Amino acid sequence: MHLSVRPATEDDCKLIFDWANEPEVRNASFYTEKIEWPKHVSWFLQKLNDPNSLILIFEVDGLNAGQIRFDRNGEYFEIDYSIDINYRGKGLGKSIVSLGISKINSQFKKTIKILAKVKKGNSISAKVFRNLGFKELNLVNGDYEFKYE
């Protein structure tokens, strides 16, 4: 299994749309409504051109397997990530977050502070950040915040 990473391009618009609307991904998001195509297109093009965002696509043996988006939020970059349904539970979550962090660090030529907000009940995602040594903060409403600095 060979894992590689590349920056997202305009050609990935539909791929990211389909991943974002997959039910478990919507359920794990803080905004759970289905995403509409026209809104997605303008949002995606704006993100691609935003110097404060970075979208990475991860491939396993040349096939699209997951994505990470980093968005600047104050002094941190906040992570959004997901693995294609066919590739979950194989340890890829941890690998893509770790590879994604080294990519963003090399892009900005410094150690970037990372923030991950994880919804209550998403113990698999919480485990990914815990296993990578993120500092954990359990919020009163049951959500988690993880920081890496």
Ligand X SMILES: CC(C)(COP(=O)(O)OP(=O)(O)OC[C@H]1O[C@@H](n2cnc3c(N)ncnc32)[C@H](O)[C@@H]1OP(=O)(O)O)[C@@H](O)C(=O)NCCC(=O)NCCS
Can you give the binding site for ligand X, defined by CB under 6 A? 24-25, 28, 81-83, 88-94, 118, 122, 124-125, 127-128, 131
Q: Which structure tokens are listed for 32?
A: 């759970």
Residue nearest to ligand X (CB): 93
The answer to whether 113 touches 74, Cβ cutoff 8 Å, is no
d(CA 136, CA 116): 10
Place of tokens 């990935």: 12
Place of tokens 């919507």: 26
Residue with smaller CB distance to ligand X, 29 or 38? 29
Helix, strand, coil percentages in the chain from 3-state DSSP, rounded to 5: 40, 30, 30
d(CA 23, CA 112): 31
Q: How far is the CB of 46 from ligand X (least distance, A)?
A: 21
Residue with smaller CB distance to ligand X, 79 or 112? 79
Residue with smaller CB distance to ligand X, 44 or 87? 87
Q: How far is the CB of 26 from ligand X (least distance, A)?
A: 9
Q: How far is the CB of 33 from ligand X (least distance, A)?
A: 16
DSSP state of 130: H
Residue with smaller CB distance to ligand X, 42 or 142? 142
Q: How far is the CB of 93 from ligand X (least distance, A)?
A: 3
